[in-house]
Amino acid sequence: MLKIRIPHFILLTIVLFTTVVIGNILALPPVAEAAGFMGHKKKKGCTKCHKQQYKSWKKMRHAKAMKTLMPGEFAEEKIKAKLDPDKNYIKDKKCLKCHTTGLDKGGYSVGNKKKMRSFYAVGCEECHGKGKKYQKVKNKYEQDDFPRDEVIKAGMKYGEKEVCEKCHNDDSPFNAALDPKYAFDYKKMLKKGTHKHFRLKKHSPRKGSEWLYED
């Protein structure tokens, strides 16, 4: 019988390589890598089609909202808010409801690695609504000229004041009573807190939001 011998060092390399790759896939990064796409398994996530917004979002505080829950991060601020600076709050649902995307509502779910990767930190769908329905509307228009009222009817949001106030409110340990600097001034926070805005090809800026754009 023909016996193929594979040298040990090659086997070892393969094993090591696989371990590293799988390890990387399973390990959660301190800063979010992927922004999710609720409900869709095979379709592309938001980040694939909106690369510029994604690149800009990734640099902002919202994308780093999980790192903040780790020990040693914002130690002084945590002490001031009577939180334990050495504690790891990364699995504490009391914190996760505002520091992740769609906690237990089809989004982030402690223990589900795939969802934990996709809905890590404050991602796209916290401000734009669950993609599941409005993506179907977008897909229907091959020229990408979907009417806004149709996507809005299907749940598209545009970071309206109420959307932000779901998290920027008095239930946060860092609220205006702790320090007035945490008071939420919508207009001021809008430019500071969202990604940079880039003009779309088929849709002009929504009325009243022109000032957000770079050019």
Q: Interface with ligand HEC by CB under 6 A: which residues?
A: 35, 37, 44, 46-50, 53-54, 57, 61-62, 64-65, 68-69, 74, 77-78, 83, 89, 92, 94-95, 97-99, 122-128, 131, 135, 138, 144, 148, 151, 158-159, 163-164, 166-169, 171-174, 182, 189-190, 192-195, 197-198, 200-203, 206, 209, 212
11 vs 61, which CB is nearer to ligand HEC?
Answer: 61
If the CB atoms of residues 94 and 113 are measured against ligand HEC, the closer one turns out to be 94
Q: With respect to ligand HEC, which residue has the nearer C-beta, 113 or 188?
A: 188
Q: Which residue's CB atom is positioned nearest to ligand HEC?
A: 193
Minimum Å gap between C-beta 11 and ligand HEC is 40
CB of 117 to ligand HEC, least distance (A): 14
For the bound state, the minimum distance from the C-beta of residue 68 to ligand HEC, rounded and expressed in Å, comes to: 3
**Given the complex with ligand HEC, which of 94 and 114 has the nearer CB atom?**
94
3-state SS, one letter per residue, for the chain: CCCCCCCHHHHHHHHHHHHHHHHHHHCCCCCCCCCCCCCCCCCCCHHHHCHHHHHHHHCCHHHHCCHHHCCCCCHHHHHHCCCCCCCCCCCCHHHHHHHCCCCCCCCCCCCCHHHHHHCCCCCHHHHHCCHHHHHHHHHHCCCCCCCHHHHHHCCCCCCCHHHHHCCCCCCCCCCCCCCHHHCCCHHHHHHHHCCCECCCCCCCCCCCCHHHECC
Say if CB 198 and CB 50 are below 8 A apart: no
186 exposure class (CB count in 10 Å sphere: 0-12, 13-18, 19+): middle
CA distance 190 to 164: 9
Taking the least distance from each CB to ligand HEC, the nearer of 8 and 143 is 143
Between 3 and 185, whose beta carbon lies closer to ligand HEC?
185
CB of 71 to ligand HEC, least distance (A): 10
Those residues with Cβ within 8 angstroms of residue 143's Cβ, 6 or more apart along the chain or in another chain: 202
